[in-house]
Amino acid sequence: MKIAIASGKGGTGKTTVSVNLAALLRDMGREVTLVDCDVEEPNSHFFLSTAWNGEKAEYVPVPKIDDTKCLGESCQKCSQACKFKAMIWMVNSILVFPELCHSCGLCKLVCPADAISDTVREVGTLRYGRGKGIDFYGGLLRIGEAMAPPLIRRVKEEAPCKDIQLLDCPPGTSCPVIESLQGADFVILVTEPTPFGLNDLRLAVGLVRKLNYPFGVVINRAGMGDDCVESYLKKESIPLIASIPHTQEAATAYSKGKLLVEEFPAFREQYQKLWERVSDLIQEGK
């Protein structure tokens, strides 16, 4: 079973919910694989004291032109076909801008002279390990690389789903999130009870509804703002999975990379209830 943990707004507690739920499930005897889909700013591994077992560079294919085969100025079919302006005719050859390439393969299809082959652009590093009894898979986007989705896809392809897989998603509602949600059986949206939290939750709800994922909402740091999120959930008939209270102790424990379910019995109870509710919602949906 694959459960994605997402939100519109950043910093609402996606990683907190992911790692604490992972630890709770581990204690219940489940085999958990945690996949950190935030390859731009990955953080889950800090909370699991992950020991790395391996890492490898990941690449996407980009075109390479064989100038001896290229038909030259009279052709230019590849540069005209490319929708991403990743190839242009410069003086006397085709110049490729690898960082603009989406690896769609159209240039190779249109080339009448078989002059285009694949070379690669490094997008980042895939890494995996284990910590606190939890298998971990994640990625690290290369600094300056704009496109996160190809690396997210690779990390997800590599990660096994033995029993339960948790997908810790990046913030926002665009391509990296869509890639991260792909294949999830259920989505937990984490928000905070503030106007910013509500606004971004609405966007996230719009996305998961459009993509047809069953979902519910966790209100994190309950009590810090107002009741706008709860009213919204009622009005929209969206299941509230849990309200996890806001405490200074929790914020401090988080800051040190500690797990709430291991530090505070009260939080452990909260997460037990959270999991019961998620299980019920998944059962209801079947």
Partner 1 sequence: MKEIVVISGKGGTGKTSVVSALAGCGPQKILADCDVDAADLHLILQPTIQDTHEFWSGELAYIDPAVCTQCGLCQKNCHFHAISDDFVVLNEHCEGCGVCEYVCPEGAAVMRPRMCGEWYRSDTRHGGMIHAELGIGEENSGKLVSTVRKEAHDLAVAQGVDTVLVDGSPGIGCPVIASLTNAGLAVIVAEPTISAIHDMERVHQLTKHFKIPTMVLINKADINPDLVKEMKKYCQTNTIPLLGTLPYDSRFTQAQVRGESIVEFDPEGIGKLFPPMWDIMLAHAKNTSA
**Which residues contact partner 1 by CB under 8 A?**
8-12, 15, 38, 40-41, 43, 46, 81, 83-84, 102-106, 109-110, 141, 143-148, 170-176, 178, 192, 194-196, 199-200, 203, 206-207, 210-211, 224-226, 251-252, 254-257
Least spacing, CB of residue 91 vs partner 1, in Å: 26
Least spacing, CB of residue 279 vs partner 1, in Å: 28
How many residues belong to the chain? 286
Contacts 24+ apart (CB under 8 A), 103-112: 103/60, 103/61, 103/62, 103/150, 105/61, 106/78, 106/81, 106/82, 107/63, 107/78, 107/81, 107/82, 108/63, 110/77, 110/78, 110/81, 111/77, 111/78, 112/71, 112/75, 112/77
Least spacing, CB of residue 271 vs partner 1, in Å: 19
C-beta of 176 vs 216, nearer to partner 1: 176
Least spacing, CB of residue 200 vs partner 1, in Å: 4
- H or E element in which residue 119 lies: strand 116-131
C-beta of 106 vs 240, nearer to partner 1: 106
User: 256 is written with which tokens?
Assistant: 């040190």
C-beta of 173 vs 275, nearer to partner 1: 173
Give the sign of the dihedral formed by CA 100, CA 102, CA 108, CA 111.
negative
C-beta of 33 vs 220, nearer to partner 1: 220
C-beta of 150 vs 216, nearer to partner 1: 150
Least spacing, CB of residue 280 vs partner 1, in Å: 28
How far apart CA 52 and CA 231 sit, in angstroms, is 44
